[in-house]
Amino acid sequence: MSKGPLAGLLVIDLTRVLAGPYCTMVLRDLGARVVKVERPVRGDDARAFPPFIEGSGDSGYFITVNRGKQSVVIDFKTGAGRDLLLSLIDRADVLVENFSPGTLERAGMNPIELASRNPRLVVARLSGYGQTGPDRDLPAYDITIQARAGLMALTGPEGGEPVKIGSAISDIAGGMFSAIAVIAALYERSLSGQGQIIDVALFDASVALLENSVVRRTLGGLDPKPIGQRHPSITPFDGFACADGTIVIAAGNNDMFVRIARALGHMEWCHDNRFRDNASRTEHHAQLKTAVESVLREYPVAHWLDVFRREQVPCARIQSIDDVLHDPQVMARGMMAVYRHAPSGREFEVVASPLQGFSRTREPTPLVAPDLGQHTDIVLTDVLGLSAERIAALRASGVLG
């Protein structure tokens, strides 16, 4: 039984690939029971995405965002399958879907009608451009959303071509915002007794990530462009070359700049008119970077990490994924977990949930992703109370794949 803060909630998950499954993964990490309804034979498209576990063909991609869920196969394009799914939704607290707008309606499951059947139901609809607007029907992938939302226009080396952010940030942001919206709707339901329908767009979520870039344009009259590691309005806030690599250091205020100057043995920088305050340092960022790197190049990154940490200067090595896997803080916080794949006997590390810091309702990261249809019988028995004979008949008719 779950111990998480969302324990006791039933989530019906009609999502696939990344953004939607990320939302329901967060809900599962917080203790909800997530029933993932998949189509027969193929299931979630992500089951066919590499890397694969040798000897089984199971997808590491799928495992990453579907841990702890229960998989049920229902062909809800059939009348009997649709009725079966509706019966599950009638008993659910949350329904999450990321079909193209209009798909749910065409399948005979209009969210307004679902709400009339189950007034306490929270329906989260996640799509590329949302349920409204002139482009609601456009197909979308993370890279196209990143491009259109302006994220790529801010990312890349100074003077270079825009590039996409390394992770699928638009999908992940959409999934996170959807999970937040679901939890907010559940709280409101606890007061009103009524569920509601939520419309979240990957495009909206990505535009929301532009942070201060919009006001730099609308208020400051600037045209934000890629500037590499440097911050556009805080200096020094950048990557700097050392004898054997790059260190990132950041001075969010004048006191931190004094610490940097002291650590590097150049307190005179604090009295230099070019560097006297953040505005001046930002205006003369190139000169300051040259001065800082002339000192940093004398010693390796490890040396400067020690020096800056003694001065309480925010700093970091640019780490590879291998570095992250062995980072002492990652290990101390339990942010990696060992996934044990029973069919193959293979063990490998996966990222654990960051949502484990609850003092009373801590839910350990679920570490098993479901096989396709693995929990069909269990869910239909537990949730709907169907007999073994009824389930066998549904399976024989093809409704359960």
Calculate the CA dihedral of residues 10, 15, 19, 22 and round it to 10 degrees.
40
Q: Are 95 and 14 in contact (CB under 8 A)?
A: yes
Burial (CB < 10 A; 0-12, 13-18, 19+), residue 7, is middle
Token representation of residue 297: 């190049």
Question: Distance between CA atoms of 151 and 140, rounded to whole angstroms?
Answer: 15
Helices and strands (H and E) in the chain: how many: 17, 11
DSSP letter assigned to residue 154:
G
At residue 15, φ and ψ (nearest 5 deg) are: -90, 170
Exposure on the CB side of residue 70, measured as CA atoms within 13 A = 18
Q: Check if the beta carbon of residue 47 is closer than 8 Å to that of residue 62.
A: yes
Residues marked active site are found at: 231
Alpha helices in 209-300 (DSSP H): 213-218, 254-263, 278-283, 285-296
Identify whether the C-beta of residue 154 lies closer than 8 Å to the C-beta of residue 226.
Answer: yes
